[in-house]
Amino acid sequence: MIRYVVRRVALAILVVAGVVVLTFVIARVVPGDPAVSWAGPHASRAEIARVRHDLGLDRPLPVQIGRYFIGVLGGDWGTSIHTHRPVLSDIMDRAPASIELVLVALLFSLVVGIPLGLVSAKWPGKTADGVIRVGAVLGVSMPAFWLALILQLVFFQRLHLLPVAGQYDPNLDYTHPLTQYTRMVLVDALVTGNWSVLRSAAAHVVLPALVIASYPLGVITRMVRASVLDSVGEDHVRMVRSLGFPERSVFGRFALKLALNPVIAVVALVFAYSLANTFLVEAIFDWPGLGSYAADSISSLDTPAIVGVTLFVAIVYVLANLIVDLVQAWLDPRIALR
């Protein structure tokens, strides 16, 4: 087991190193001559040469990669052209809001998706199964940015039911100021017992979380359905059934337990996918997270910021995968022996 953990961690470190190199390629090699784009369209030849020297672009490529690498490790992720602040501190300011949003969406997808998948697998081919399967296909086929706009239209413009912008009502800052620990509003409000902010934040998170949840919900529902259907046919589940356990516990306990492993495996995948999806959704809901930061950087052609966010999400993804692998190996020790 320890050998497996060490090997898995070493692989993750190797992948992160590769990820840093790939972002270097994107930032410095793909755009042609970055010095020209840095200096701007009206720069003279001398200015371009100066920028090239300042950026270290006149050094050999391996030296450049080495410097970039050391910079990234030391927390120097470049300076945002748009905000004029270090990219890493921008990211650290923005990340909690996005992670909170994605976690709420994932929790919702698990709580709703697992029962839906079970119902679907319990009565395959029946009406409920058909409706759930079509719903799941709609979920994975949904353009998130479009769903966000449509929900805004329906809930805000027509029904006036739910707030559609920001994390909570900014007026509460005067009446019920929020002490920040984690920068995740829901968590901070809960920890400090700030119920007014909590209520407002909960209402604000519903629509963006629903949009983000659309894809994971579809994936998880299909996953649970497929793997429960698989496991129902297995010997020990048939055994449990023939021993006279009620149908409900055959499905809810024995088949589900088997089915959960692939679901856990897919959670890391959809977590990262959803983080990337916030790029499309946050700007629409005025959510002050990484996604709207990325959208701003894209519209202002802020390459260091875009590359920084890309690097950050990739690292989060590698970590999520690592955690999932370790959890799986802990649940099923046979994995570590392979």
Partner 1 sequence: MIEQALTPTPAGRPARLAAVLRRNPLLTVGAALSLIVVLAGLFAPILAPHPADAYVATHPTETLLPPSGLHPFGTDQLGRDILTRVLYGARISPLIAVLVLLIACVVGIPLGIAAGYFGGLIDDVLMRITDVFLAFPALLLALAFAAVLSPSIGNTTLAIALTWWPWYTRLVRGQAASVAGRQYVEAARALGVPHRRILLRHVLPNSITPLIVQVSLDVSAVILTASALSFLGLGAQDPTPDWGLMVSQGQSYFTTQWWLVTFPGAAILLTAVAFNLLGDGLRDVLDPRRVPTR
Residues that bind partner 1 (CB under 8 A): 11, 14-16, 18-19, 21-23, 26-27, 30-31, 133-134, 137-138, 140-146, 149-150, 152-153, 157, 222-223, 226-227, 230, 262, 266, 269, 272-273, 275-277, 279-280, 284, 294-295, 298-299, 301, 303, 306-307, 310, 313-314, 317-318, 321
Query: Any idea which residue has 């934040």 for tokens?
Result: 201
Residue 88 phi/psi, 5-degree rounding, is -65, -40
Residue 158, Cβ neighbours under 10 Å: how many?
Answer: 9
> Of 200 and 214, which CB lies nearer to partner 1 in the complex structure?
214
Minimum CB distance to partner 1, residue 244 (Å): 24
Return the number of the residue (111 or 153) whose C-beta is nearest partner 1.
153
Nearest-approach distance from CB 69 to partner 1, in angstroms? 14
Instruction: Give least dist CB 174 to partner 1, A.
Output: 28
Token reading at 8: 């898995």
Shortest spacing between CB 213 and partner 1, in angstroms? 16
Nearer to partner 1, 186 or 305 (CB): 305
Residue 297 Cβ, how far from partner 1 at the closest point, in Å? 8
The torsion angles phi and psi of 86, rounded to 5 degrees, stand at -60, 135
Number of residues that make up the chain: 338
Residue with smaller CB distance to partner 1, 133 or 183: 133
- Asked whether 32 and 52 are in contact (CB, 8 A), the reply is no
Yes or no: say if 295 and 148 are a contact pair by the CB < 8 Å rule: no
CA–CA dist 294, 279 (Å, integer): 6
Task: Name which of 103 and 269 has its Cβ closer to partner 1.
Answer: 269
Sign for the pseudo-dihedral over CA of 88, 92, 97, 98:
positive
Q: Which two tokens stand for residue 202?
A: 């909960």
